Amino acid sequence: MRRTRLLTGNDRHHAARIITQIRTTLYPPVTAQAQETSALPAGLYGAGNCSPPPTFAFLVHPLTVNDIYKSRPLRFARALPQPLVERLIAYAPPVYLAQIRGIRSPATGEEITGLLYSIGTTPTQMLRHAPEFTYRRLVQTARSAARRGARLLGLGAFTSVVGDAGVTVAQRTTVGITSGNTLTVVATLETIETALAQLGRNLAQCRVAVIGATGSIGAACARMLATQVQHVWLVAPRRERLHALSQTIIQAHPRAQLDCSTDPNAALDQVNVVILTTSSLSDQVIDVHRLQPGTVVCDVARPPNINQKAAHQRPDVLFIESGEIRLPGQPDMGFDLALPPGSAYACLAETALLALEHRYGDYTVGRIILPAQVHELAAMMRKHGLQLTGLHSFGQPLTPAQLGAVRAAVAQADTASPSVSELVL
């Protein structure tokens, strides 16, 4: 077991400085009613502000310690040991970041307003602490958001993975809770179909590996794809969960062609679509050198499961991200989320979409996403004019040169590949 190093006198001095910066110059803590009111932008509810009162909130957090340094008051912390900074920021209370404005449904004409919050805990720190450590901060955020008028809270990135995936938080708060994972499934499947169409391929002709298949997103993708593709490989570390998932799928779809494996590399030379949706903190979940030319790899995980440098060694493989959605109206996040203007990750988009529908109860909580939920949110997405932002790879739009290289690999692979009956499964 890894031991936690005791703080030296010099460390305590740095720790005190970091905590002071958090409390006095970063953002006002959201645990006190008076401080919450002063943290709101001037005129949020005043007559001069035409934005409606907030009905939803969304929570983000740093994925790595480098994200912490992006905060101007904490730039001095670059001179300190990274583990110390990461460990201390994890104890910071939730902070109010900004007001989300300008999301307007073309179907109803309604405009909604949201609240953006952050906690300082990275995924590494969430996993090093017991789930209760993160639960307390999520509940704090939910209660603060409720006092400001929000009726729904979306859990972003790793906060939707910790512990029981929102169940405990939902039980302890009065606002509705959603992880956003259902719309992430919708966005993942639509992104893959878009990518395949760009390469001249059809989903029905594909063989798919779902890595992280027993998680909520992976299991839902596997259920949805089981009747749409030639073959699905279910990959996850625990055999008993893989068996249970495969039995569930077979019972619903007796003709589905499935295989299970605990080795994420086992099927890479037999598939032409890979979905990565693990809760691993590693960016080397698979060996990219074992992928077939022309394969589409969709990385859903945050933090990513694919190493960018390794991916650049395979220009004949299409590496794409999932979950970026363009919101309707003229959205202003009020904070730099490192996304194109007007865009949001699917987890935030799901929260806003439910608010547009006035669905303020718990929605995506726990680890089971039913196909009916996927179909329902897909219909809501079309109704309110939410759209995919396009194909992206490592935060950048795909270029014609990238697509051209993979198209050439697909054409060559399709010419040389055997028929399905000749494959050794």
The pLDDT tens digits along the chain (425 residues) read 444 444 455 555 555 556 555 544 444 444 433 344 334 443 344 434 567 899 999 999 999 888 888 877 777 788 888 889 999 999 999 999 999 999 999 999 999 999 999 999 999 999 999 999 999 999 999 999 999 999 999 999 999 989 999 999 999 999 999 999 999 999 999 999 999 999 999 999 999 999 999 999 999 999 999 999 999 999 999 999 999 999 999 999 999 999 999 999 999 999 999 999 998 877 789 999 999 999 999 999 888 889 999 999 999 999 999 868 999 999 999 988 888 889 999 999 999 999 999 999 999 999 999 999 999 999 999 999 999 998 999 988 999 999 999 999 999 877 766 554 444 44
- The token pair that represents 208 in the structure block: 């798919």
> What is residue 288's three-state secondary structure?
helix
- The token pair that represents 363 in the structure block: 């929605």
Closest CA to 178 of 163, 166, 162: 166
Q: Look at the alpha carbons of 403, 404, 405, 411 in this order and tell me if their dihedral is positive or negative.
A: positive
- The token pair that represents 183 in the structure block: 């719309």
CA distance linking residue 120 with residue 71, whole number of Å: 11
Cβ(229)–Cβ(360) under 8 Å? no
| Domain assignments of the chain as residue spans, ordered by start | 26-180+325-370, 183-324+389-415
Cβ(188)–Cβ(300) under 8 Å? yes
CA distances from 383 to 108, 223, 346, 377, 410 (A): 9, 24, 16, 10, 35
CA distances from 38 to 148, 291, 313 (A): 12, 54, 51
The DSSP result for 332-391, as a single string, is: E-SS--SS-TTEEEHHHHHHHHHHHTT--S--S-SS---HHHHHHHHHHHHHTT-EE---
Q: Residue 8: CA atoms inside 13 Å, Cβ hemisphere, count?
A: 3
Q: What is the pLDDT of residue 72?
A: 74
CATH architecture of 183-324+389-415: 3-Layer(aba) Sandwich (3.40)
Cβ(14)–Cβ(80) under 8 Å? yes
Amino acid at 214: T
Beta strand segments in 221-280, E: 231-235, 258-261, 273-276
End-to-end C-alpha distance for the chain, whole angstroms: 40
Cβ(178)–Cβ(344) under 8 Å? no
CA distances from 360 to 118, 143, 145, 195 (A): 21, 15, 13, 34
CA distance linking residue 227 with residue 257, whole number of Å: 9
Cβ(157)–Cβ(302) under 8 Å? yes
pTM score above 0.75: yes
> φ and ψ at 208, to 5 degrees?
-125, 135
As beta bridge partners, residue 98 has 116
Closest CA to 332 of 140, 142, 116: 116
CA distance linking residue 244 with residue 407, whole number of Å: 37
Beta strand segments in 350-399, E: 387-388, 392-393, 396-397
